[in-house]
Chains A and B, each alone.
Chain A
Amino acid sequence: MRARSFAIAGAILGLYGLLELLRQTGIISAYWAQIMDLSLIITISAVGLSLIYGFTGQFSLGHAAFYGVGAYTAGFVSKTLGAGAPGFVLALVAGAVAAGLVALLIGLPILRLRSDYLGIATLGFGVIIRVLLDNSHKLSPTLGGAKGMMGVPQLASFVWIFWLAVGAIWLAANLIRSSYGRACISIREDEVAADLMGVNTTALKTLAFVVGGALAGLAGALYAHRYPFLHPSTFDYLKSLDVLLVVVLGGLGSLTGTVVTAIGWVFLLEWLRAVLPSEYMDLRGVVYALVLIVLMIARPQGLLGGSSAKGGKRRATA
């Protein structure tokens, strides 16, 4: 057991060293390095949604709202405090905590709702956050409102992004492989039964929602310090959808699936951009949508994991 943990830690360290070397030597170009960073940031956010939906079964169409709250909070803190490592760390913490707090405030009332209805409520919550971001300049001119926010110091280097992603995955895996995680999964499987087996379902659903929201907030905070321009449209409903797709395609209740799919998905989208001739760029959205439809019809239980038992459960009344 212990030996295995050391082996995994060693492998991750080796992977980091290799990637850092390839980046420093320019074998991985700045362009692809940026895509790699984005894929890791999306991974952190997707792991958050995996906790909420994949493991606890709480359907959310508003995950990007937490990502946005994290990005804007962190950007604001960083711009106010100015560049420097302590300010950056504080901004990351602030982004995660703010998103977690918002998740707590919104989660306490709406997590009583089930499946489709919860999806619609979270979608509505996402629209509300988007509208608030569009009007954020009224709160503070620093936030920029619909014009977007610029000038956040670009402090999120690969070492930060990589190790925070590893840390997020590690914490999520620990949570899942504990009594808390089992209780969360039991809620996904049968909420009434879980309640009757002594599981405080409200508390655990809220826990998953807050931890998942905070991870999205952390991802947003990193994003704000990696890409120089923040705009409300980066955090709207389509972005929530992206993350949801990653979690569903990765197979609900599979953390490995989530991580692999998140990275693969970001690279796939960029690859599409690279291979499509520029006059066909418009086709990207069409291809994206078609891939999505075909994948869902071909493998409704997700690409990875997803036993046949999984497809049979939560069977459609449709």
Chain B
Amino acid sequence: MPLLECRNISRYFGGLRAVGGLNLTLEPGELVGLIGPNGAGKTTVFNMITGIFPPTEGQVLLEGRDLSGLASFQVTQLGIARTFQNIRLYKEMSVLDNVRTAMHAGRGYGLFDALLRTRRFGAAERRLTEQAEALLERMKLTARRDEPAGSLPYGEQRRLEIARALATSPKLLLLDEPAAGMNPSEVGELLELVRSIQRDFGLTILLIEHQMSLVMNLCQRLVVLDFGEVIARGTPAEIQSDARVLEAYLGKGATA
């Protein structure tokens, strides 16, 4: 069974079509890139999958289960996590708490345990903290544990976003331009990081990215969007030589 299946999904914003009739299937363990020019509708696809702006038409299925009508937090609890193109960390919370907050659904205690500080509360909090610290270690953020997230440099904020997404224990990870604003050496590190977390956490990853070096080296398969429609699918090598993709990126006549 495919992990994720988007069946003919479309999204309209007041008469304007952002995405039309998209079909997309991800098998478990795949690492797929979603590319296309600015305004092609890539982030809208993420928003439809995560239920912020549910598809106007069509269905999204996770492991065969229809996600229609679910709230975003329910979609996340079923195993889809994401990062944001324009970083959306909780700026005033500490780095550790950013990660721990994402574990709320799996906190393992109830309201009265929290209010009365029961033994169960203590044990569960210790476990949450250890898991969060392990994720920070993994993302090389241990030294920043107690700093407010907003004070971190850009590249570290991007890594913290990934750590926070992983803390929700996802099966599918959606990364929205994780390399935006990074220099080439940071992009190189990110590439290794994404590969290793995919392997170690057994993740399926769908990635939006403009940095072609990253996309071409990382993804097994690419889907190209333009004006809300898929214009090409294939391996990085196939996409690089696709005339329509070049045209979408560079304009008509550029292929001649």
Could you tell me which A residues sit within 8 Å of B by CB distance?
171, 174-175, 178-183, 185-186, 189-190, 192-202, 207, 253, 307, 309-310, 313
CA A307 to CA B101, docked complex, whole Å: 22
Among listed B17-25, B102-110, B214-222, interface-contacting one: B102-110
CB contact between A198 and one of B52, B88, B92, B102 (< 8 Å): that residue: B102
**Interface pair B84/A193, CB less than 8 Å apart:** yes
- Contacts A179-B128, A185-B90 given; does A198 touch B105 at CB 8 Å: yes
- Check A189–B92 contact: CB distance below 8 A: yes
Whether the Cβ atoms of B114 and A198 lie closer than 8 Å is no
Residue B97 at the chain A interface, CB threshold 8 Å: yes
Taken together as a complex, chains A and B put the C-alpha atoms of A179 and B104 apart, in Å, by: 6
Q: B74-104, CB under 8 A of A: which get 1 and which 0?
A: 0011000110100011111100010011111
Taking a contact as CB atoms under 8 Å apart, the answer to whether B128 and A198 are in contact is no
Residue B93 contacts which of A175, A179, A189, A199 (CB distance < 8 angstroms)?
Answer: A189
**Contacts A190-B90, A197-B73, A197-B101 known; 6 new A-B pairs at CB < 8 A:** A174-B115, A179-B100, A179-B104, A197-B76, A197-B168, A199-B73
24 contacts between A and B (CB under 8 A): A174-B114, A174-B117, A175-B115, A179-B103, A179-B107, A180-B104, A182-B97, A189-B90, A189-B91, A190-B88, A193-B88, A193-B89, A193-B90, A194-B101, A195-B71, A195-B73, A195-B76, A196-B72, A196-B76, A197-B81, A197-B164, A198-B76, A200-B71, A313-B150
B235 at the interface (CB under 8 A from A): no
Report chain B residues within 8 Å CB of A189.
90-93
Residue among A199, A201, A253 with the highest chain B CB neighbour number at 10 A:
A199
Q: Mark B34-60, 1 if CB is under 8 A from A, else 0.
A: 000000000000000010100000000
Are B52 and A199 in contact (CB-based, < 8 A)?
Answer: no
Q: How many residues of B contact A (CB 8 A)?
A: 40
Q: Which residues of B contact A183 (CB under 8 A)?
A: 101, 104
Given known A175-B114, A178-B121, contact A313–B91 (CB-CB < 8 A): yes
Q: Are B72 and A186 in contact (CB under 8 A)?
A: no
CA distance A186 to B50 in the complex (A): 18
Q: Are A186 and B93 closer than 8 Å at their CB atoms?
A: yes
Residues of B within 8 A of A (CB): 50, 52, 71-73, 76-77, 81-82, 84, 88-93, 97, 100-105, 107, 109, 111, 114-117, 121, 125, 128, 148, 150-151, 164-165, 167-168
What residues of chain A lie closer than 8 Å to B164, measured between beta carbons? 197
Q: Are B104 and A310 in contact, CB atoms less than 8 angstroms apart?
A: no
What chain A residues lie within 8 Å of B92 (beta carbons)? 185, 189, 253, 307, 309-310, 313
Cβ–Cβ contact A196 & B73, under 8 A = yes
A301 to chain B, nearest CB (A): 11
> What residues of A have a CB within 8 angstroms of the CB of B84 in the complex?
193
Residue in B72, B76, B114 whose beta carbon sits within 8 Å of that of A179 in the complex: B114
Q: How far is the CA of A306 from the CA of B90 in the complex (A)?
A: 16
Given the contacts A178-B125, A186-B90, A196 and B82 also touching, CB distance less than 8 Å: yes
Residue from A171, A182, A186, A201 having most chain B Cβ neighbours under 10 A: A182
Establish whether residues B91 and A309, one from each chain, have CB atoms under 8 Å apart when the complex forms: yes
Most buried by B among A181, A186, A313: A186
Chain B residues with Cβ below 8 Å from A179 are 100-101, 103-104, 107, 109, 114, 125, 128
B147 → A minimal CB distance (Å): 11
**Do residues B116 and A199 form an inter-chain contact, with CB atoms below 8 A?**
no
A140 to B50, alpha carbons, bound, how many Å?
51
Closest chain B residue to A185 by CB distance? B93
Minimal beta-carbon separation of B165 from chain A (angstroms): 8
Q: Which of B115, B125, B164 has the most CB of A within 10 A?
A: B115
Asked if A309 and B101 sit within 8 Å, CB to CB, the answer is no
Chain B min CB distance to A6 (Å)? 14
A182 pairs with B88, CB closer than 8 A:
no
Q: A240–B111 Cα gap in the complex (Å)?
A: 28
CA distance A109 to B227 in the complex (A): 37
Closest A residue to B116 using CB positions: A174
Q: A192 CA to B121 CA in the complex, in Å?
A: 27
B52 — which chain A residues lie within 8 A by C-beta? 192, 195-196
Nearest-CB distance from A238 to chain B (Å)? 30
Inter-chain contact A182/B93, CB cutoff 8 Å: yes
